[in-house]
Amino acid sequence: MKYFSTRDASVRVSAAEAIATGLAPDGGLFVPESIPHIGAQDIEELRLLDYRGRAARIMGMYLDDFTGDELELFCRRAYSDNFDTPETAPLRIIDGGTAVLELWHGPTCAFKDMALQMLPHLLTASLRKCGEKRGVCILVATSGDTGKAALEGFADVEGTRIVVFYPRDGVSDVQKLQMTTQTGENVLVSAIAGNFDDAQTGVKRIFGDRDFAARLDESGWFLSSANSINWGRLLPQIAYYVSAYCDMINAGKIANGGRINFCVPTGNFGNILAGWYAKQMGLPVARFVCASNSNNVLTDFINTGTYDRNRQFHCTISPSMDILVSSNLERLLYACCGSDSEVAGYMASLAKEGRYTVSDGLIDRIRADFSAGFCSDGETRAEIADMFAKGYLMDPHTAVAWKVLRGYRAATGDTTPSVVVSTASPFKFCDSVLAALGEDTGAPGTELIGRLAERTGVSAPKPLATLAGRAVRFDGCIDRSDMERLVGDFLR
């Protein structure tokens, strides 16, 4: 199966090339030229497998330049005792018609592990298949979750190095400690004096510096990114939607063939888009509910057809969804309109004016699969408290989705069995969760982990519970102008 660019359908590459290069040369995103199909018989077989088996089968349908043995090996390595449950992505039935898909049992306690534990295997194999002899250095600017998940994924992976920059004042105590205590011989972490935008801009500048690339090339290295525009990050996420469907059958909530809804807390649109691909494959999904916080660009887009980033940016208690430009939306636009020139036009308008309006036909097709809603921080806190009283502790991102699903059901009367996608452990956002439960939060982040465990009787995930005792390896903070030099020295 070939992949082509959302901005120029004549650019065709193999799966390995799409993963090895990440972004298409014209700035577009790679998409598969056709969508493989799964039917009721496939589901019947998949539901008897464990998560690894399911993931290997699903990924294999898109990666015909990889063997089944290779993919099974990758899955055994990516999803093993680095997760704190043998189920990898367990489905918890909460009430009669609602379940939660917990995607945060991996080493960094957020859903990005589902893809970033897999990506290093896919990427290093893709580079081998493409005959790449140089080593790859992954460069990341992070506002928190992605940096740590990428570090855990790439730590001590042969032929790779990883450098992560985070804003000195822009991440939580826990997030910072997660990164600065990272182990591995091939990792480098540094704070920069500035905010997330400064880190991001600095990284983009390094990627764009051709002289620097030429010097790295001489010493046998090239730079790559681990962000969610890479197909190798999206693909592993398709598997858990299929897996959740299998588990809904296994739990007796639906018959094979019965339809379900998914409600997904959304930022960059990567997670929910993977679900939509699963539906395109034939998974019986009725509707995706796209949940946002007060940065409700996507809610407005789905409801009006106009995407408009010209608005105030809100810092919320669900920070991983504080995003005004959802880059993966481009893949959905392309799939629903089928015209690379139309998509290129929307993206040019977004770059120039910060907004675009899609055709009526296009927004109707999107609305056939997606509904959208958002909620405030106050509503999110109330939802956390209410659900805890009913016996389930959730993080703020998951609580946004839970609230938005309730609103959707009330407005539409839709009673389809539904899965809320849970993207982080509540212990990753202790201060907000404790505050929602009416507790005082005036203490260092690592102390709050113990406090939340005491208050709720739920035990903290081990990677977070043991954080306070770990040695800090990276306490440096550099100026933005020194980022390139730091990377150059690290790769010498």
Residue found by looking up tokens 């903070």 in the block: 477
Piece in contact with ligand PLP (CB under 6 A), picked from 26-34, 67-75, 203-211, 259-267: 259-267
State the Cα–Cα distance between residues 37 and 35, nearest whole angstrom. 6
Minimum gap (Å) between residue 154 Cβ and ligand PLP: 17
Minimum gap (Å) between residue 396 Cβ and ligand PLP: 8
Minimum gap (Å) between residue 315 Cβ and ligand PLP: 15
Is 38 or 424 the residue whose CB approaches ligand PLP more closely? 424
Minimum gap (Å) between residue 129 Cβ and ligand PLP: 27
Contact between 112 and ligand PLP by CB under 6 A: the answer reads yes
Q: Which of 2, 112, 176, 279 is catalytic?
A: 112
Strands 135-141 and 370-374 come out as unpaired
Ranges within 213-242 binding ligand PLP (CB under 6 A)? 228
* CB-count exposure of residue 173 (10 Å: 0-12, 13-18, 19+): middle
Residue pair 366/341 in contact by the 8 Å Cβ criterion: no
Question: Between vectors from CA 224 to CA 108 and to CA 343, what angle results, nearest 5°?
Answer: 100
Contacts of 3 (CB under 8 A, 6+ apart): 12, 13, 14, 15, 17, 18, 30, 31, 32, 33, 231
Ranges within 392-411 binding ligand PLP (CB under 6 A)? 397
Contact between 287 and ligand PLP by CB under 6 A: the answer reads no
Minimum gap (Å) between residue 39 Cβ and ligand PLP: 27
State the Cα–Cα distance between residues 269 and 182, nearest whole angstrom. 28
Minimum gap (Å) between residue 148 Cβ and ligand PLP: 10
Ranges within 320-339 binding ligand PLP (CB under 6 A)? 320-321
Piece in contact with ligand PLP (CB under 6 A), picked from 19-27, 163-171, 269-277, 365-373: 269-277
HEC string of 175-231 equals HHHHHHCCCCCCEEEEEECCCHHHHHHHHHHHHHCHHHHHHHHHCCEEEECCCCCCH
Is 394 or 491 the residue whose CB approaches ligand PLP more closely? 394
Look at residue 114 and give its three-state secondary structure: helix
Is 320 or 418 the residue whose CB approaches ligand PLP more closely? 320
Please pick, from the candidates 3, 241, 269, 346, the single residue that binds ligand PLP as defined by CB under 6 A.
269
Residue found by looking up tokens 């007796």 in the block: 252
Closest CA to 178 of 490, 472, 483: 472
Minimum gap (Å) between residue 255 Cβ and ligand PLP: 30
Starting at the earlier edge strand, list the strands of the sheet with 187-192: 221-224, 135-141, 160-167, 187-192, 477-478
Tokens of 30: 């790679």
Residue 61, Ramachandran bin (φ over 0: left; ψ between -120 and 50: alpha; else beta)? alpha
Piece in contact with ligand PLP (CB under 6 A), picked from 241-249, 265-273, 332-340, 465-473: 265-273
Q: Is 112 a catalytic residue?
A: yes
Minimum gap (Å) between residue 165 Cβ and ligand PLP: 18
Please pick, from the candidates 108, 186, 271, 293, the single residue that binds ligand PLP as defined by CB under 6 A.
271
Is 435 or 487 the residue whose CB approaches ligand PLP more closely? 435
Minimum gap (Å) between residue 210 Cβ and ligand PLP: 30
Strands 355-357 and 370-374 come out as unpaired
Residue pair 21/15 in contact by the 8 Å Cβ criterion: no
Look at residue 419 and give its three-state secondary structure: strand
Residue found by looking up tokens 């592990």 in the block: 113
Ranges within 145-164 binding ligand PLP (CB under 6 A)? 145
Which sign, positive or negative, has the C-alpha torsion 212, 216, 218, 222? negative
Piece in contact with ligand PLP (CB under 6 A), picked from 244-252, 266-274, 364-372, 477-485: 266-274
Contact between 424 and ligand PLP by CB under 6 A: the answer reads yes
Q: Phi and psi dihedrals of 236, rounded to 5? A: -60, -20
Ranges within 13-52 binding ligand PLP (CB under 6 A)? none
Is 110 or 242 the residue whose CB approaches ligand PLP more closely? 110
Tell me which amino acid residue 310 is: N
Strands 285-292 and 370-374 come out as parallel
Minimum gap (Å) between residue 329 Cβ and ligand PLP: 10
Please pick, from the candidates 265, 417, 426, 463, the single residue that binds ligand PLP as defined by CB under 6 A.
265
Please pick, from the candidates 106, 167, 170, 267, the single residue that binds ligand PLP as defined by CB under 6 A.
267
Please pick, from the candidates 100, 110, 116, 335, the single residue that binds ligand PLP as defined by CB under 6 A.
110
Piece in contact with ligand PLP (CB under 6 A), picked from 31-39, 264-272, 353-361, 378-386: 264-272
Question: Between vectors from CA 463 to CA 460 and to CA 466, what angle results, nearest 5°?
Answer: 80
Q: How far apart are the first and last CA of the chain?
A: 38
Is 216 or 274 the residue whose CB approaches ligand PLP more closely? 274
Please pick, from the candidates 5, 190, 316, 423, the single residue that binds ligand PLP as defined by CB under 6 A.
423
Strand partners, 92: 100
Piece in contact with ligand PLP (CB under 6 A), picked from 207-215, 238-246, 267-275, 478-486: 267-275
Please pick, from the candidates 5, 180, 182, 266, the single residue that binds ligand PLP as defined by CB under 6 A.
266
Binding site for ligand PLP (CB under 6 A): 110-112, 145, 228, 265-271, 320-321, 397, 423-424
Which residues are catalytically annotated?
A: 112
